[in-house]
Structure 1
């Protein structure tokens, strides 16, 4: 009988959080196991931040009517993969055949993910964004190892001979399309870009220090806090960083208006180049990983959006100026499915939105916002079917706009919570939306929302200490906020999902 003892290594190589549940490599049921694909399920258990994996023990030990283990991995509320078995499991039953998966014994043919959410009309609980994203990434990683394409990923409702409905509330064709993009190196497999970003088990915040060089502060369980100086000065403004092709990529603006691009892996010293941008960069850079490419955008001396990207296949840097006219401040870019989105603001306070996806030319619109944008915008892709943008309006409040893919409609409004100054920063954690800013008195402003609630706000007990625009980061089981304090150091606050407790430490530096 074949087994897949490599599963932990393959998932961790994709940056997916993994918990190995006991002797999972030797836990299995009898019978053959020669997988050719991946099958998605939901558990029908209601998960939450305080109870992220309610079905875990059932998946390990089984039910009175069905011997465990019941899947190779359970995907908890936070997107953590709990590894249960490297061998055959009782998860699929008989397969009626779907796509390239033939009719036969599904337990032999398929690796099973049990995604821990309600999935029925009574609970109306859907996959969290973290469950969706990591299930897609993990599926792509396993199919790559098996030498199969995205068509070998199926939902249980597609193969069941007994009328199973799982996984519910998800478009399986769209999910397969995201697996295909991840197999090609697409955005879902590349992590989230920002001044703070994750690299393996490390949390990174790349900043320009008072000496004008790049300090890449980081923490990991094995190293604690480290503060390597990556040089590259003299620099100005804020950075953007992300992970692609196993490397950290960090971009910053030099005082000579030329891009600085660092790239680094493992314990190697960082490399540095400029991507043919001499004298062209007059804003903070923004960017993302996309497919087999690394992208960066910036405002050029003429006030327009300029673009560079590096293609790992041909080894070439390309790019140009996108149409849409002049803007002010700093752009903000992110990937939504196979789409590239960049937001900025005009001198008159209109929102400007550039977008591109395969098969079209770069285009521009304003999402109906022709005035009132008083800060740099921020935003994210949410749950695979919406993309969102936030900004400070001329009244000093947090304004919000989002596009819903299924309905094709724009929605939004102003979130309650009082006025703030500077630029907001938005990020997703699980199925939660978080936006952070700073009050004029130095208090932290933190807004949050998730399905079933109204937008709310708090301070995370950060009162009178926030001297720079805060930034956020999501990691498994925690979400984080970083900001420059009045003494120039980097302060870090974090929320533990398991116990609802807030933590605080200081990463030092001279920012």
Structure 2
């Protein structure tokens, strides 16, 4: 029987507050356990509160007269604290009738369960419970190598009419999990998801930031977030309910916008006056927001803000000079940054809890002719792509189980500029632009060789594309010759490619 003894560690790495109960790694029900997803419940116990945050805890640990414990792998209390109870099979799911990618079968075998401690009749989930559950779900799905569609509510899988978790739009909650996976899993960038909206941020022809977005309720909107004068490309991600966007000012100072809901954006500089010589890269990590950039000495400068202590920290990672723009992403509990050296080598910095930042080159000492791009894949590998000196797409990846670096050239012909890579479900996608303005798209998933196509986009791509994964779709955005933002998206269920133009005036 499989177990998940890593549960507490991955939750803490995601910034979730954890309390471990008893010998939880060995406390479980007999029977098979091979989880593929996460199932959400509410306890239907007494009303929880800040003063009585977990009235259902004892029952979830010990069970009821009609159902022996443990009744879930973890309980989420009113304050958002995760009480970890079991690393193995629990009596929480019953039989699954099938929902989304979760098949019909034994739910206790297939699902990791959260019991969110609220009564579900006169009480809704607290905000702290909601965001802790989103982050914890993303952490477990990332470790399992699954997307947000593998998170379900008990009322979706139940064959006996369960209503839990009550008072929650499960599609919206899954979208927040997907956004968190995107931000923490390497898809932070020019395009990112926020709630049910898709965002693309760019410097406009007036030198300020346009935050393009689309949602089902608003359509396309293009608010100007100011911050002039700006240069280069942006990076954005979502952390703890806020969207964060970073860009380089023309005065070499970082511009950082932060915004939630209908509020106007805030703007600060993270103590970077005169230090920023490249486009920034960054990601959320646990309770922290991170950003990296090239400093005036050509070294990798790092800043991060910790929301738990409200402290801004940072410094320089190593003594490796580089050119161009870095890319940064999270793999498991690890932080990774890649860039290219002046001689065309690959520069790679890494850090995880318990070590100082280190660096290597993955054996690539020449041939890198673009900014790299990369991502974490299914919790087992991390990948990087770049244009080589022959103009083709070069690929390297580190495989955790074997501890080896692998890779080669993906067929599909030459391109120019910088590629952008991201993960959609179990698929790897890379977009770039051809010299004639065609869209270059490479793709791979388990069981196939790498393929390529152009999504029918020919002769109109004038800037480096940026991609985005959302539930059920993957997207690409690019600047056209007139400076407007063109958009294509692939709908998984139908195989249809949609197209529109979001307008605006984007700087080159």
Is the TM-score greater than 0.5?
yes
Residues 290-323 of structure 1: CA deviation (Å, up to 9, x unaligned): 0111000000011000000111122121101110
The yes-or-no answer on 1:357 pairing with 2:352 is yes
Query: Residues of 2 paired with 1:409 and 1:228: CA distance?
Result: 46
Distance 1:366 1:189, change over 3 A: closer
- Spell out structure 1 runs of 4+ moving beyond 4 A: 39-44, 85-88, 100-112, 139-147, 155-160, 163-168, 175-182, 185-191
1:283 and 2:278 aligned:
yes
The CA RMSD measured in Å over matched residues stands at 3.6
Where do 1:342-491 residues align within 5 Å? 342-491=337-486
Provide the C-alpha distance between the structure 1 equivalents of 2:292 and 2:81, rounded to a whole number of angstroms.
Answer: 35
Q: How many residues align?
A: 393
Quickly say closer, same or farther: Cα 1:379–1:155, change in 2 above 3 A. farther
Is 1:235 equivalent to 2:230 in the alignment?
Answer: yes
> Scaled by the length of structure 2, what TM-score is found?
0.70
- CA 1:485/1:268 → structure 2, altered by over 3 Å: closer, same or farther? same
Aligned pair partner of 2:328 in 324, 329, 333: 333
What is the Cα deviation at residue 167 of structure 1?
A: 4.6
| Distance in 2, Cα, partners of 1:297 & 1:285 | 6
Change (3 A) 1:40 1:235: farther
Q: How do 1:85-484 residues align onto structure 2 when only pairs under 5 Å count?
A: 109=69, 147-152=81-86, 154-155=88-89, 166-167=109-110, 178-179=139-140, 188=181, 190-191=183-184, 192-484=187-479
Seen in structure 2, the aligned counterparts of structure 1 residues 475 and 140 have a Cα distance that, compared at 3 Å, is: farther
Change (3 A) 1:463 1:105: farther
Kindly indicate whether the alpha-carbon contact (under 8 Å) linking 1:432 and 1:448 is maintained by their aligned counterparts in 2. yes
Query: 2:68·2:91 contact (CA, 8 Å) conserved in 1?
Result: no
Asked if 2 retains the 8 angstrom alpha-carbon contact of 1:151 and 1:176, the reply is no
For the 8 Å contact 1:425–1:436, the answer to whether it is kept is yes
- Aligned residues of 2:231 and 2:248 also touching (Cα < 8 A): yes
The residue matched to 1:400 in structure 2 has which SS? Answer: strand
In 2, the alpha carbon distance for the partners of 1:271 and 1:419 equals 41
Per-residue CA deviation, residues 102-161 of structure 1 (Å, 9 max, x unaligned), is 58889675778xxxxxxxxxxxxxxxxxxxxxxxxxx8895777854345453469999x
Q: Using a 3 Å threshold, how does the CA distance of structure 1 residues 320 and 206 change in structure 2: closer, same or farther?
A: same
Residues 150, 180 of structure 1: 8 Å contact kept: no
d(CA) in 1 for partners of 2:78, 2:344: 46
- TM-superposed CA distance for 1:165, in Å, is 10
User: Do 1:140 and 1:179's aligned partners in 2 also have CA atoms closer than 8 Å?
Assistant: no
Aligned to 1:494: 489
Contact 1:181 1:187 in 2 (8 A): no
- Among residues 493, 499, 504, which one is paired with 2:499 in the alignment? 504
Mapped contact 1:155–1:167 kept (Cα < 8 A): no
Alpha-carbon distance in 2 for matches of 1:177, 1:416? 33
CA distance in 2, matches of 1:40, 1:265: 43
Quote the Cα distance in structure 2 between the aligned partners of 1:369 and 1:145: 47
Q: Is the 8 A contact 2:421 2:428 kept in 1?
A: yes
Distance change in 2, residues 1:148/1:314 (3 Å): closer
User: Per the alignment, do residues 159 and 318 of structure 1 end up closer, same or farther by CA in structure 2, a change over 3 Å counting?
Assistant: same
- Return the alpha-carbon distance in structure 1 between the equivalents of residues 381 and 488 of structure 2: 28
Deviates more, 1:234-243 or 1:189-198: 189-198
CA–CA distance in structure 2, aligned partners of residues 239 and 422 of structure 1: 16
Per-residue CA shift, 1:333-375, capped at 9, x if unaligned? 0000110000001000000000000000011000000100000
The one-character-per-residue Cα deviations of 1:439-494 (angstroms, maximum 9, x if unpaired) are 00000000000000000000000000100000100000000000001111000000
Identify the residue that residue 92 of structure 1 maps to in structure 2.
none
Task: Check the 8 A contact 1:287/1:297 in 2, yes or no.
Answer: yes
**Can you give the 5+ residue segments of structure 2 that lack an aligned partner in the other structure?**
1-13, 15-27, 45-59, 95-105, 112-135, 144-176
SS at match of 1:469: coil
Instruction: Name the CA shift for 1:306/1:229 in 2 (closer, same or farther; >3 Å).
Output: same
Closer, same or farther: CA 494–332 of 1 in aligned 2, 3 Å: same
> Deviation digits for residues 263-311 of structure 1, max 9, x if unmatched?
0000000000000000000100000000111000000011000000111
Q: Which secondary structure does the structure 1 equivalent of 2:88 belong to?
A: strand
SS at structure 1 position matched to 2:366: coil
Report the Cα distance in structure 2 between the residues aligned to 1:468 and 1:356, rounded to whole angstroms. Answer: 32
**TM-score, length of structure 1 as denominator length:** 0.70
Instruction: State the distance in 1 between where 2:401 and 2:42 align.
Output: 37
Question: What is the CA distance between 1:245 and its match in structure 2?
Answer: 1.4
Contact kept, 8 Å, 1:398 with 1:415, in 2: the verdict is yes
Secondary structure of the equivalent of 1:154? coil
Classify 1:463/1:457 alpha carbon distance in 2 versus 1 (closer, same or farther; 3 Å).
same
Change in 2 beyond 3 A, CA 1:189/1:206: closer
